[in-house]
């Protein structure tokens, strides 16, 4: 030992950043792997590649008065399921979906995406798995993964854990922004099927399934032919391509991405004053996972509807004459579509019948 500042004794062994908890070499390897994945999402508007201090992207040709639209979100406690199952290749899809589906609500075409990944320790293979999901989501949405940030914070996150945030930017013609302002009584509400819980309500879902029912992550899911992990890690559905196609074919008055808050809180966000959505609960079949959670947790129906999507991940409002053509167009694009309600005069909100 040797004397040092203020008479304290310190070990003679030199410290490195790696010994302190940050491995720059592993970070460099992770970046090398990410570059290949990002390249798979390339759009012609993107200038340069991964590695610069910032990303550059031109506005696509053909817009007369382009408006940039942006959104940010995360995956939430769904990540806890990924940690338990040690499966990390799907949560990146959720990350992209939460951002690009929000852009889509206003008619915007997703243009590019960035991610922020904070980890306990840089494990290049795990980071590659996470970013492979982000790249898959970007390809599904048609946007470019132009960059991101990986932060190694061993004294902040528990071993094996990480957090994700995403930033999506899209573009829309100013005259084509979908605002909901033209919605009026008599209009119809169409619902697109969700792929599962998407990325919301997982704190309650884990409480019921893993704690109250005591299910293991690889146990059979009650009422389903797959495991708890398979059910809960099903990625959020990305609605971008079919809905953008629909916008070219049929007038759409309003749209809502059904995330935290369910239909109850998300649909009113795009309705004008004096427009009330009346939703027919019998118009679609609620997937079994929601009924298992409700029954095992003794969760009130109102609480279920304001926590989960209940099987509908995206809603659209159209004129009565356009409901059938819109539904046909979306079904041809591979979506499950239900006419789930109508707009009536009344206080802005949602009523279930």
What is the mean pLDDT, run by run of 10 residues, along the chain of 353 residues? Answer: 59 67 73 83 85 87 96 97 97 98 98 96 92 97 94 91 97 97 97 97 97 96 92 98 97 97 96 97 96 96 96 98 98 98 96 95
Q: What is the pLDDT of residue 50?
A: 67
Parts of the chain belonging to CATH 3.90.650.10: 188-352
Residue with tokens 């798979």: 40
Quick check: 38 and 50 in contact, CB under 8 A? Answer: yes
- The residues with which 73 forms a beta bridge, in sequence order, are 166
Q: Taking the model in full, what pTM does it have?
A: 0.92
pLDDT of residue 349: 95
What single DSSP character describes residue 269? G
pLDDT of residue 73: 97
The tokens for 192 are 């697109």
Other Cβ atoms closer than 10 A to 236: 29
CB distance 143 to 242 below 8 Å: no
Question: How many Cβ atoms from other residues are within 10 Å of residue 186's Cβ?
Answer: 11
Rg (Cα) of the chain, in Å, rounded?
Answer: 23
Q: Would you list the DSSP string of 234-253?
A: PPPPP-HHHHHHHHTTS---
Report whether 259 contacts 333 (CB < 8 A). no
Phi-psi label, residue 194: left if phi above 0, alpha if psi -120 to 50, beta otherwise: beta
Residues 6+ apart with CB under 8 A from 88: 82, 126, 129, 130, 133
Residues 113 and 146: beta-carbon distance below 8 Å = yes
* Fold (CATH) for 8-176: 60s Ribosomal Protein L30; Chain: A; (3.30.1330)
320: number of Cβ within 10 Å: 11
The predicted structure's pLDDT at residue 3: 56
Burial letters 25-58, b for 16+ CB under 10 A, else e: ebbebbbebbeebbeebebebbeeebeeeebebe
Class (C level, CATH) for 188-352:
alpha beta
Q: Which residues 6+ apart lie within 8 Å of 245 measured at CB?
A: 329, 333
Coil, strand or helix at 28: helix
Measured N-to-C along each axis, helices 78-85 and 91-105 cross at an angle, to the nearest 10 degrees, of 160
3-state secondary structure 41-101: CCCCCEECCCCCCCCEECCCCCCCCEEEEEEEEECCCHHHHHHHHCCCCCHHHHHHHHHHH
Selection from 210, 106, 148, 169 nearest residue 219 by Cα: 210
């Amino acid at each position: 030992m040797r004397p040092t500042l203020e008479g304290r004794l310190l070990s003679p062994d030199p410290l490195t950043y790696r010994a302190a908890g940050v491995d720059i070499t592993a970070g460099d390897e992770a970046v090398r792997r990410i570059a290949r994945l990002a390249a798979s999402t390339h759009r012609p508007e993107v200038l340069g590649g991964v590695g610069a201090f910032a990303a550059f992207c031109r506005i696509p040709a053909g817009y007369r008065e382009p408006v940039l639209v942006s959104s940010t979100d995360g995956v939430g406690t769904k990540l806890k399921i990924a940690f338990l199952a040690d499966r990390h290749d799907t949560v990146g899809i959720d990350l992209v979906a939460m951002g690009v589906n929000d852009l889509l609500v206003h008619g915007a075409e997703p243009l590019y995406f960035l991610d922020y990944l904070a980890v306990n320790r840089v494990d290049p293979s795990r980071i590659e798995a996470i970013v492979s999901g982000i790249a898959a989501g970007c390809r599904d949405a048609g946007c470019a993964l132009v960059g991101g940030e990986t932060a190694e914070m061993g004294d902040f996150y528990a071993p094996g854990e990480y957090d994700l945030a995403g930033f999506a930017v899209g573009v829309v013609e100013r005259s084509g922004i979908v605002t909901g302002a033209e919605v009026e009584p008599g209009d119809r509400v169409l619902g697109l099927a969700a792929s599962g819980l998407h990325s919301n309500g997982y704190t309650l879902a884990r409480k019921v399934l893993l704690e109250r029912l005591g299910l293991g992550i690889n146990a059979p899911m009650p009422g389903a032919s797959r495991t708890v992990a398979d059910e809960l890690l099903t990625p959020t559905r990305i609605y971008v391509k079919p809905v953008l196609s629909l916008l070219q074919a049929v007038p759409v008055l309003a749209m809502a991405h059904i995330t935290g808050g369910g239909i109850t809180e998300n649909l009113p966000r795009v309705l004008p004053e004096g427009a009330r959505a009346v939703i027919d609960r019998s118009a679609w079949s609620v997937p079994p996972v929601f009924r298992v959670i409700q029954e095992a947790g003794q969760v009130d129906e109102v609480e279920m509807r304001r926590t989960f999507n209940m099987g509908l991940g995206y809603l659209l409002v159209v004129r009565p004459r356009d409901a059938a053509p819109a539904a046909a167009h979306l079904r041809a694009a591979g979506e499950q579509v239900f006419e789930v309600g109508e707009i009536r005069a009344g206080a802005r909100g949602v009523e279930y019948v």
